[in-house]
Structure 1
Amino acid sequence: MRVMLLVLGLILGAPGLAQDAADRVAPEGAGAGLFQVPALLEASAKAKAAGRPVKAENWMIAAANPLAVESGAKVLARGGTAADAMVAVQAVLGLVEPQSSGLGGGAFLVWHDAESGEITTLDARETAPLAVTPQLFLDADGEPLDFFDAVVGGRSVGVPGTPALMAEAHARWGRSPWPGLFTDAIRLAEDGFSVSPRLAMLVAGDVARLSRFAAIRAYFLPDGHPVQAGDTLRNPAYAETLRKLAEDGARGFYTGGVAEDIVARVQGVRDNLGRLSGTDLAIYRVKERAAVCSPYREFEVCGMGPPSSGGVTVAQILGLLEPFDLADLGPESAQAWRLIGDASRLAFADRGRYLADSDFVPVPVAGLLAPDYLKSRSALLRREDALPQVAPGAPEFEHALDWGEGRRGERPSTSHVSIVDRDGNALSMTSSIENAFGSRLMVRGFLLNNQLTDFSFATHDGGRPIANAAAPGKRPRSSMAPTILRRDGRPVLVLGSPGGSRIIGYVAKTILAWVDWGMDPQQAAGLPHLVNRFGPFELEPVADGLADELRGLGYDVSITDQTSGLHVIEIGQGLLGGADPRREGLAYGD
């Protein structure tokens, strides 16, 4: 009963949701104004406000902004596939939540194909330019730069992957005409869209950095003042870029005028010069990677492999917890959270040592998920209090043992989309430009990423090279964890979240809530976060009732807001969808 009160408290009391509006959703910063949702989605907004999952029979979508959800829903209603809907959704997201994802960023996609039953994972992570060296983020004295000194400007910009992923997914699994998938986004860019409270809040909190460069300053700070919630914002330059994509496909982005403008912008910041070239853009390719699939209870949990650390680390956490009866302990138990927290710490220790772009360093994925290895690591959890310290283990694959650790991970400015179409195809995609507003460089109406700061700034640790150090053409390690759970080869849960390196904890917790604690997708998305990555427990304010018990078990505890953006779809007799009450997103289906 107590956990249900906790969930209800988060849904009704957390910044992020209007409590009295039937057709409105107010995200964090709700005092700035209420966020209007399209009439089509009123029932979804009501369900979210009441803490209920959305129900559907044929198809469902859950994404981070109602305008994007509406655009994707139109595609699905016309018989489009989940891949078609994703293209439309991402095009709108790049306009209405540009601080989080867009054409200038990258993404990971997990796809379950209804016809073949196969899982495919596509890596559209940004790549380091060919001119990059491991010393990219070191100053003249060989010391790591301060984070924002590295971020703002051209140095942090990697080759964007999102446009290529949109085209690749559509070529593989789409059936709707490509040009028509951009119609809504082009219309909204030209006619204008209403600024959401979340976007207005983030603009207001970043005025100094947004003021650095003319294009982004003029867009977000017209007349020298931050845009306000409810303002109408138009972006005709973005509309023209989308027309180019619609007409020429991804080639229209990676070559020609758009590519030339990207290069000029990145190389034009004299006090923080970028290395990106036209060649880097022209040679970019989406990579199909081997899916990381591992068992948990009666389910198969499938996610992204390296350069994402998300799939492996989520799988490790679940594998370490497999021997324990979490269902009996329940989500109100401090001992349950001790197990979850220390399993996460052990997995993060391995993540820091071993996980990076497997095209450049040997990564022992099989060893990290081997049953005997997980069993030996799980035995460390058989105690009554917190582990005093954790260290990386020694999985089979001795070549990786020579690598040092690195903790740098992406900031929580990311977006997640979950889609199931009427054919039964399931898509889970997490996309990002890294920090809010990325590098603060704007080109043709979209923002460029700062994903290269996901590399370790240092090159060595204790004399050992760091696996996640920068290198030409390398993809930085990510924590993004788009995930599909299957039972007997059929998808049963589609989920993912933004949130930087906390993504791993958010996704693992949501799986545990659904599998072990019997929660529906909305309850699981709204369950308070208790995250432990490196030792201290980070608790949302609504979960502070467990703080003293966790301190008694030996943890340092901090109470902090956590803005995940979970989007969860359950597939059973019908479809159930949940959208994180901490943000603006909605689930909708038919």
Structure 2
Amino acid sequence: MIRLNSGLKSVAPALALLGLFSFPPAPAVAQDATPAPEIATGYAAKQGVVARKYMMAAANPLATEAGYRMLRQGGSAIDAAIASQMVLNLVEPQSSGIGGGAFLMYFDGKRVQSYDGRETAPAAADEHLFQDKDGKPLSRAAAIIGGRSVGAPGVLRMLELAHREHGKLPWASLFAPAIKLADEGFAVSPRLHALLDHERYLAQDPVAAAYFYDAKGQPWPVGHVLKNPELARSLREIAAGGADAFYKGRIARDIAAKVAAHPTNPGKLTAADIAGYRARERAPVCIDYKAWTVCGAPPPSSGGIAIAQMLGILSNKDISPYKPVNGMLNADAIHLFSEAGRLAYADRNHYVADTDFVPLPGRGVAAMIDPAYLARRAALIGPRSMGSAPFGTPDGMQVAWGTDTALDKPSTSHLVAVDGAGNGLSMTTSVEDAFGSRQMVDGFLLNNQLTDFSFDAVDADGPVANRVQAGKRPRSAMSPTLVFERATGRLVLATGSPGGSSIINYVAKVLVGTLDWGLDVQQAISLPNFGSRNGPTELEAGRVAPEVVAQLIARGHVVRQFDQNSGLQGIQRRTVDGQPVWFGGADPRREGVALGD
């Protein structure tokens, strides 16, 4: 807890009208063949939404509507998030749900809190979980598909903890929209249909096959009314009995049985592991950046530290003069942002893990975001790309760590809310890979979050910080973020995104766009995605001018252009006609919308 100052496949013409031009990739640039966490399903330009009282934004219109209804009833941002998450479980099952985990940032007008609902490894797990009999890392499919990759789900315990502290509406009432949709059905969206059509493993689970596909094995078409009576039953039990109905009853036993019974890849998760799960409240990671204080999630999320490092580095290398023109990025902006990202990701991949098990260097988070340390890191940025940045040596460094080899490609969703009291929330929620472990039970999918651990446990530099250990939480890139005015302590922005390890760059892009370049949050979200994860400089395919790409190559960048499927949501405090308003934005790359009064 941190206390703040008490004063506290869109058509080209549509893109052209907004200055969001599309270009063919430069032929001299290699393309990235690495699969994204979820496939891209088009780009539809969006306008921001203005509200004066409260606002909700989520990855699907039905989920946004559920949260919005709670706000209209006088509910808190926490109430809205719970209602929205339950509906996302139905309409976006590939991305999140009660079988997964989440990180949540909350502001109650005086203090910032960070809630950790990350999954935990079973008591029987060890560092060889994702290795074969010869100690070699398993393949992606062998690791993910089945019971081996399933951790104890955390999202419901986390939401219950947050609701106990900040909920206004009765717990049971928050489940009503999702139960109604599960009983009466909802229309399959274009995105869900496309993901089901692309998916190759989900139908191997008989329960999932019967739900998501027709008798011929084809995914349900767009508009098909899909009902989920099993989930309605589960949600009714949880609404009536609280999270204990999930963690200590029939549902926990069903999860454990499903995991153990997989015919080729059984897992180690037990009902006792699920019953023993605890959500945590942790101290958020906050850094002062120019006129603002930016707060994010601490370990086991790496997002808060990595974004703070990027901002701290950019404090020494001012990016503000390189504002996009008509939505078009220039080479100077991409260069500085990508080099800052390289440095931050180098530290992330070397040091960050579950701090209940593995210490951070020196003074912990403080050492990782120390201004003097980040100034030394920033001094490594020159006129040419460094290609691959070395990890740093924060003050007080005492332990040598190896380098992480996690798959780190989670399928995720994000939501933001501001309630009538001005309290704000940012929550990133995930089942990891698209459709998780491809195991369905009691109406929902189980996560495969354990593949966010490193598959290797040790290398020449020492033990890997993010190796598998019993009861440990795998490192995440989820980056729910809140921004405040330093002078007043007022909340000015809530944002976050899905997108695997690219989440850090997606969220940092919105922060630079709003705080450095003065864009509204919708303009910042709609900017081309770009950056580096300490490898190639990654650009959203067709969104950066060929001459800019050529300039980057001339400066030593190895450029990769591919679909970067973010799912950003944002709510920003702005002034319209002299009056404060909430301005909401949603990612053109997904189905999300913002609603408010």
TM-score, length-normalised on structure 1? 0.91
After superposition, what is the alpha-carbon deviation per residue over 1:297-333, rounded to whole angstroms, capped at 9, x for unaligned?
A: 1100000000000000001001000123322122333
1:447 corresponds to 2:445: yes
8 A contact 1:59–1:420 mirrored in 2: yes
Distance 2:304 2:461 in 1: 29
8 A contact 1:6–1:527 mirrored in 2: no
After superposition, what is the alpha-carbon deviation per residue over 1:134-182, rounded to whole angstroms, capped at 9, x for unaligned?
A: 1100001110000111100000000000111221111110010111111
Distance 1:123 1:203, change over 3 A: same
SS across alignment from 1:544: coil
Report what 1:348 is aligned to.
345
8 A contact 2:387–2:558 mirrored in 1: no
- Aligned partner letter, 2:134: D
User: Is there any run of 5+ residues in structure 1 with no aligned partner, and where?
Assistant: 15-26, 31-47
- Aligned partner letter, 1:352: N
Distance 1:343 1:362 in 2: 24
SS across alignment from 1:203: helix
After superposition, what is the alpha-carbon deviation per residue over 1:432-454, rounded to whole angstroms, capped at 9, x for unaligned?
A: 00000000110100000000000
- Aligned partner letter, 2:462: R
Distance 1:377 1:6, change over 3 A: farther
SS across alignment from 2:542: helix
Distance 2:22 2:586 in 1: 14
1:69 corresponds to 2:64: yes
1:246 aligned to which of 235, 239, 244:
239
8 A contact 2:410–2:431 mirrored in 1: no
- Aligned partner letter, 2:445: L
Q: Counterparts of 1:106-505 in structure 2 under 5 Å?
A: 106-114=101-109, 117-206=110-199, 208-223=200-215, 224-331=217-324, 332-363=329-360, 364-381=364-381, 383-399=382-398, 401-462=399-460, 464-487=462-485, 488-505=488-505
8 A contact 1:438–1:447 mirrored in 2: yes
**1:540 positional shift:** 1.1
Report what 2:555 is aligned to.
553
Distance 1:307 1:7 in 2: 42
Report what 1:523 is aligned to.
523
Distance 2:461 2:234 in 1: 46
Distance 1:52 1:229 in 2: 24
Report what 2:88 is aligned to.
93
- Aligned partner letter, 1:504: I
SS across alignment from 2:429: strand
Distance 1:361 1:256 in 2: 32
Distance 1:118 1:511, change over 3 A: same
SS across alignment from 1:271: coil
**1:409 positional shift:** 4.9
Distance 1:441 1:553, change over 3 A: same
1:584 corresponds to 2:582: no
- Aligned partner letter, 2:75: G
Distance 1:583 1:7, change over 3 A: farther
Distance 1:49 1:98, change over 3 A: closer
Distance 2:460 2:19 in 1: 46
**Larger deviation: 323-332 or 495-504?**
323-332
- Higher helix fraction (1 or 2): 1
**Larger deviation: 351-360 or 406-415?**
406-415
Distance 1:539 1:485 in 2: 26
Report what 1:43 is aligned to.
none
Report what 2:6 is aligned to.
none
2:18 aligned to which of 8, 30, 33:
8
Report what 1:18 is aligned to.
none
- Aligned partner letter, 2:297: M
1:57 corresponds to 2:52: yes
Report the number of matched residues: 553
**1:29 positional shift:** 3.8
Report what 2:29 is aligned to.
none
Distance 1:329 1:253 in 2: 50
SS across alignment from 1:538: strand
8 A contact 2:124–2:470 mirrored in 1: yes
Q: Counterparts of 1:10-25 in structure 2 under 5 Å?
A: 10=20
**1:398 positional shift:** 2.1
Distance 1:461 1:524 in 2: 40
Distance 1:11 1:252, change over 3 A: farther
8 A contact 2:44–2:589 mirrored in 1: no
Distance 1:320 1:398 in 2: 20
8 A contact 1:414–1:430 mirrored in 2: yes
8 A contact 2:15–2:22 mirrored in 1: no
8 A contact 2:432–2:448 mirrored in 1: yes
8 A contact 1:11–1:526 mirrored in 2: no
SS across alignment from 1:188: helix
8 A contact 2:40–2:563 mirrored in 1: no
After superposition, what is the alpha-carbon deviation per residue over 1:433-483, rounded to whole angstroms, capped at 9, x for unaligned?
A: 000000011010000000000000011121511000000000000000000
Report what 2:31 is aligned to.
none
SS across alignment from 2:160: helix
8 A contact 1:7–1:527 mirrored in 2: no
8 A contact 2:258–2:441 mirrored in 1: yes
Report what 1:38 is aligned to.
none
8 A contact 2:495–2:570 mirrored in 1: yes
Distance 1:190 1:451, change over 3 A: same
SS across alignment from 1:270: coil
**Larger deviation: 529-538 or 300-309?**
529-538
Distance 1:365 1:292 in 2: 7
Distance 1:337 1:218 in 2: 46
Distance 1:86 1:389 in 2: 39
2:566 aligned to which of 552, 564, 567:
564
**1:9 positional shift:** 5.3
Distance 1:508 1:409 in 2: 22
Distance 2:166 2:23 in 1: 41
Distance 1:66 1:5, change over 3 A: closer
Distance 2:446 2:407 in 1: 18
8 A contact 2:413–2:498 mirrored in 1: yes
8 A contact 1:59–1:421 mirrored in 2: yes
**1:76 positional shift:** 0.2
TM-score, length-normalised on structure 2? 0.90
